[in-house]
Structure 1
Amino acid sequence: MASDINVEARVVDAAECSVRITDRNRPASKTIRGEWDDKPATPSPNTDGLYRELYLGRVVAQDIKKVPQVLGTRNGVVVEQIVDGKWRLAGSPGDDLWCIFWPDGRKSCSDNIEFERMSVVRNLPDQEERTKRVDRALVHLYGDLCKGAQKRVPF
């Protein structure tokens, strides 16, 4: 539910333009219920990520581009897509651009970040405004939050 969203985005290293995103409503435990037996629901530790960090200063500026958002495939062939549905930010090979930090101390990382520009729900009356808000948010991340970053991007 959108009213339950309580996410904090905070710059943790202005020189490298590192942003930490934390779900402030993340529960310490979840209720797990067995679907194949009649056992009662039991609380279990929440193993979802604690937070995510984006290392936006490592983005290769000339590689930022709009890419398709795939909505459907058949036998490995794309049958439905939104042509410019995502922003794709890539780093140099081997650069971690974002990582999820897990409760057990592990982290999972990727060398690219994709932001959905458009809702997969088509023909919304405010679709164009929604897309503009995503574009403005990305510009805000780079233009305002990351002013001190050593690597600048062309926004």
Structure 2
Amino acid sequence: MDAKVTWKGRLSFTGSAESGFSVPLGAEAAVGGEEDGFRPMELILTGLAGCTAMDVISILLKKRQDISAFEVRAHAERSEGHPRVFTSAVLEYHISGRGIDEVAVLRSLELSATRYCPAQAMFRNVFPVALRYFIYEDSDGQRKLVSQGEYRVPLITSSS
């Protein structure tokens, strides 16, 4: 995989990848930026959310879940000192539809966390990533929370 960033002036860049897509990168005004793009750490967190979102929605659709809306919200804590690395993250999966099976949701989270999402696998080796889910029932134009919980990823221990 290859990617590059091209300087546009001041603290503005365009990031592009071999897929052919590009994304603006920028910095906040307080550090000399022009507020004109993703901060790099925001993009990393968005990549984590996007990686698992693609796994989970794909698995749920294969399980024939009747989904009307799906969103992954990501939150990361950062260290106080430089470099301001992530120290933990929480991923919240918000799934709306009719008759969503909680077991199917848990299985999709498990497969994303333990088998398919390379971003989760990388980050989990460095800091804790919590997975929370919220299942909503859509009925007559109304959305009602019917279930919520947390999927706990099994710890991988090496035997020597």
Q: Greater relative contact order (Cα 8 A, min sep 6): structure 1 or 2?
A: 1
Q: Which one has the bigger helix percentage?
A: 2
TM-score, L = length of structure 1:
0.26
TM-score, L = length of structure 2:
0.26
